[in-house]
Structure 1
Amino acid sequence: MKNALLPLAVSLSACLAPMTAFAHPHIFAEARMEIIEGADGNLEEVRNIWRFDEMFSASVVLDYDKNSDAKLDKEELAEIGNTVHESLAEFSYYTFITQNGKPVDLGKPDAIHVDYKDNQILMFFSMKPQKPLPIKGLLSFGAWDPTMYTAIDFAKDTDLVVKGSHLAACKHKVIRPNPDEIISQNQNNLTDAFFNDPTGTDMTKLFATRLELTC
């Protein structure tokens, strides 16, 4: 596994010295999530699109540009995708769904597709529920790194998209937690171990932007 993508196993950057992840995420990605309804009225899949910052993207090019032509060829992009596909499995590919507060099990994506445009790495992949998921109750969708090493940002509320008549009929609410308020409300749980545990924690979701649907 190449050095620049080792962080995708621990969470996206071995090329930088470890620091407190919450205070100093090392990798930044602009995200878009598309939540797709199937013909049977159940949730069919969740599609992720991530555009990474130029510094991290440059480090990936440095490690994977085998022919030193300052770009990433088809084979090089495929190798990056294969590495990420293997690395992020234990982190649920940073993709999390709950129904009425209970986690929804998702299958692995078939592949991680990678592109390189305007000096930035882009990744595309989709995930499907392992069991039929009716569109009812309180559904929550989000993308975050449990180790807090990577900041995944939905810059606009419209970057969280639903497609399908049942999904569109649900009440939509984008939740953007205030970090200061979260820390103040959870002081007894947010210990030094929480901020420095490289394996991550379920508490991370408290800080993450997510879409809630009431159906």
Structure 2
Amino acid sequence: MKRKTSLLVAMLSLLPVPALAHPHIFIDAKFQVVAAPDGSISELRNVWNFDEVFSSSVLMDFDKGDNQTLTPTELKAVGKTVRDSLAQYGYYTNVTSNGKAVPMAKPDAIQADYKDGSLILTFSLKPEQKTFLKGTTIFGIYDKTLYTAVDFNTDNDMATSGSAFGRCKSKVVRPNPKEVMAENQAALTSMFFSDPQGTDYSLLVATRLEVQC
């Protein structure tokens, strides 16, 4: 019998997990920040490739025709489910401008595809309010509960686009988890008891794009 719980309960209805827990879902991601001519953030483009195990579970849940593939209609259902389910988690997107969080609007749509055994999601996010690239802007794509691991294979997978970036300096920061734990052992213990979901730890170890303008 097919499971009635979709991807999206497994992926997206995230039950609390202890700090330092191992992820259960893996995403190879590509991310691009697009700047508008006036120097504001135009959009954040995302492409997520999911691991084969998780992708297979999505196929089982959404393949109504039992033909081991997903039709355009079924893919549309996947995209809609993800769009609705991930909204409360901010689509794993964490942006700060000079230390202040930048809320993102719900994407118009999430495009789903299924190729070579992998679920692929493509979507763009825009800030709820106009936000200029001024001072320090940090972009991080990560799951605060550590249930889902979002990986960027190369620094080029976190990119910038737009002439406004010509006046900025960008770098990809990849913290070493062992070093973070060693340097923050006491603080991490406190984080665990104050926040069982491990929110603060995930922020410390997440790969991020830092932009100085």
TM-score (norm 2): 0.90
1:97 alignment partner, one of 95, 98, 109: 95
8 Å CA contact retained: 2:19, 2:201: no
Deviation, structure 1 residue 189: 3.0
Aligned partners of 1:8 and 1:112: how far apart in 2? 15
Counterpart position of 1:190: 188
Number of positions where the alignment pairs a residue of Structure 1 with one of Structure 2: 210
Deviation, structure 1 residue 21: 6.7
Partner deviation per Cα, 1:111-133 (whole Å, 9 max, x = no partner):
11110011100001111111111
2:106 alignment partner, one of 105, 108, 119: 108
Deviation, structure 1 residue 191: 3.2
- The one-letter code matched in structure 1 to 2:107 is P
User: 2:123 matched to 1:120?
Assistant: no
Q: CA RMSD in A?
A: 2.3
8 Å CA contact retained: 2:37, 2:163: no
Partner deviation per Cα, 1:89-127 (whole Å, 9 max, x = no partner):
111100111111111111111111110011100001111
Counterpart position of 1:37: 35
Counterpart position of 1:5: 8
8 Å CA contact retained: 2:191, 2:201: no
TM-score (norm 1): 0.89
Deviation, structure 1 residue 8: 2.8
Gaps of 5+ in 2: none
Aligned partners of 1:154 and 1:192: how far apart in 2? 29
Secondary structure at the residue paired with 1:191? helix
User: 2:91 matched to 1:72?
Assistant: no
Gaps of 5+ in 1: none
Percent identity between the two aligned chains = 47
Secondary structure at the residue paired with 1:188? helix
8 Å CA contact retained: 2:25, 2:147: yes
- The one-letter code matched in structure 2 to 1:122 is I
Partner deviation per Cα, 1:45-67 (whole Å, 9 max, x = no partner):
10111000111101110111000
Deviation, structure 1 residue 41: 2.4
Aligned partners of 1:19 and 1:55: how far apart in 2? 20
Q: 1:21 to 1:81 in 2, by over 3 A?
A: farther
- The one-letter code matched in structure 2 to 1:139 is T
Which 4+ stretches in 1 moved above 4 angstroms? Answer: 18-21, 197-200
Deviation, structure 1 residue 4: 3.0
- The one-letter code matched in structure 1 to 2:192 is F
Partner deviation per Cα, 1:166-211 (whole Å, 9 max, x = no partner):
224311111000101111222223239739x675524311110001
Deviation, structure 1 residue 39: 3.1
8 Å CA contact retained: 2:29, 2:46: yes
2:161 alignment partner, one of 153, 160, 163: 163
Deviation, structure 1 residue 23: 4.1
- The one-letter code matched in structure 2 to 1:8 is M
